[in-house]
């Protein structure tokens, strides 16, 4: 058995270990780019302020969640996990699309994002945790990751008019709102992504619970799973 453990440990591919600052920077860039893509894919013709925001939110679900799944697969050097993660991300995006289709959703957006974060983390898992035994723990940590995403984004986007709304003159409200969203949206989702990336990496089990940004390698699971003689 000791020989098998040694071979298994040797063959295990180590996960990527980006530093703390790089993980935060990745979340910042990906979050900003995802919001820009969602804005670019949303037509402003004939829409009200509320309808435009809902359309952007629907597109964000289909862009950001698969991007996070791909990133988690990249961390684990696994195309299979990247494809599974992006597929789960599309499912999460579809569920969020249905939620947004219900109409005025802002009062419970944070709750919904928390639940979807829990479902995503629980379903995704990682190469260093047992999928079934860690299910409840990943769901609980995913709730926190989704809560942080929803809380920070909602708070920052609500402050957008204070910084980017015209101060005087005849205001085209739809035009002013669209300009505000183009400026405040990438900033808000970028900062939200900077929190989401380290927290979701922790939620799926790629970092130690006691040290949020301390990576753990898949070979450690082999040592833990090997029976003692």
- When mean pLDDT is compared across 8-17, 106-115, 165-174, 211-220, the lowest value belongs to 211-220
SS3 state at 159: coil
Asked if pLDDT for residue 225 goes beyond 60, the answer is no
Nearest to 35 by CA among 61, 68, 9, 17: 61
- CA–CA distance, 8 with 3 (Å, rounded to integer): 9
The total number of residues shown for the chain amounts to 229
Q: How confident is the model at residue 47 (pLDDT cuts 50, 70, 90)?
A: low
Q: Per residue in 76-111, pLDDT tens? A: 999 999 999 999 999 999 999 988 887 655 667 889
Q: Are 19 and 75 in contact (CB under 8 A)?
A: no
- CA–CA distance, 8 with 127 (Å, rounded to integer): 13
Residue 9 to residues 178, 203, 221, Cα–Cα distance (Å): 53, 24, 9
Owner of token pair 């790089």: 22
Q: What is the pLDDT of residue 105?
A: 59
Q: Per residue in 106-144, pLDDT tens? A: 667 889 999 999 999 999 988 888 888 889 999 999 999
- For 48, half-sphere exposure in the C-beta direction (CA atoms, 13 angstrom radius) is 4
Residue-by-residue DSSP string for 56-125 = HHHHHHHHHHHHHHHHHHHHTT-HHHHHHHHHHHHHHHHHHHHHHTTS--GGGHHHHHHHHHHHHHHHH-
Query: How distant is the alpha carbon of residue 193 from its chain centre?
Result: 7
Residues contacting residue 196 through CB under 8 Å, at least 6 positions apart: 27, 31, 68, 145, 148, 149
Domain range summary for the chain, segments of one domain joined by +: 28-216
SS3 state at 16: coil
Residue 208 to residues 113, 213, 220, Cα–Cα distance (Å): 24, 7, 12
Q: What is the pLDDT of residue 196?
A: 96
- What is the phi/psi pair of residue 91, to 5°? -65, -45
Threshold 0.95, pTM exceeds = no
**Cβ of 192: how many Cβ atoms within 10 Å?**
27
């Amino acid at each position: 058995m000791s020989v098998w453990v040694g071979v298994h440990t040797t063959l295990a591919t180590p996960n990527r270990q980006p530093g703390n600052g790089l993980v935060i920077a990745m979340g910042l860039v990906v979050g900003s780019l995802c919001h820009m893509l969602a804005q670019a894919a949303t037509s402003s013709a004939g829409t009200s302020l509320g309808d435009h925001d809902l359309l952007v939110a629907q597109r964000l679900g289909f862009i950001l969640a698969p991007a996070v799944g791909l990133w988690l697969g990249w961390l684990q050097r696994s195309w299979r996990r990247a494809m599974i993660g992006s597929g789960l991300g599309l499912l999460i995006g579809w569920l969020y699309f249905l939620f947004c289709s219900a109409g005025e959703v802002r009062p419970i957006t944070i709750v919904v994002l928390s639940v979807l974060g829990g479902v995503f983390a629980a379903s995704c898992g990682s190469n260093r945790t047992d999928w079934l035994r860690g299910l409840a723990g990943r769901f609980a940590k995913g709730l926190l990751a989704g809560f942080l995403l929803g809380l920070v984004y909602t708070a920052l986007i609500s402050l957008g008019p204070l910084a980017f709304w015209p101060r005087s003159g005849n205001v085209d409200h739809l035009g002013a709102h669209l300009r505000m969203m183009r400026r405040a949206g990438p900033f808000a989702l970028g900062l939200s992504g900077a929190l989401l990336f380290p927290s979701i990496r922790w939620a799926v089990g790629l970092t130690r619970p006691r040290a949020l940004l301390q990576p753990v390698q898949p070979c450690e699971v082999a040592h833990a799973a090997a029976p003692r003689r």
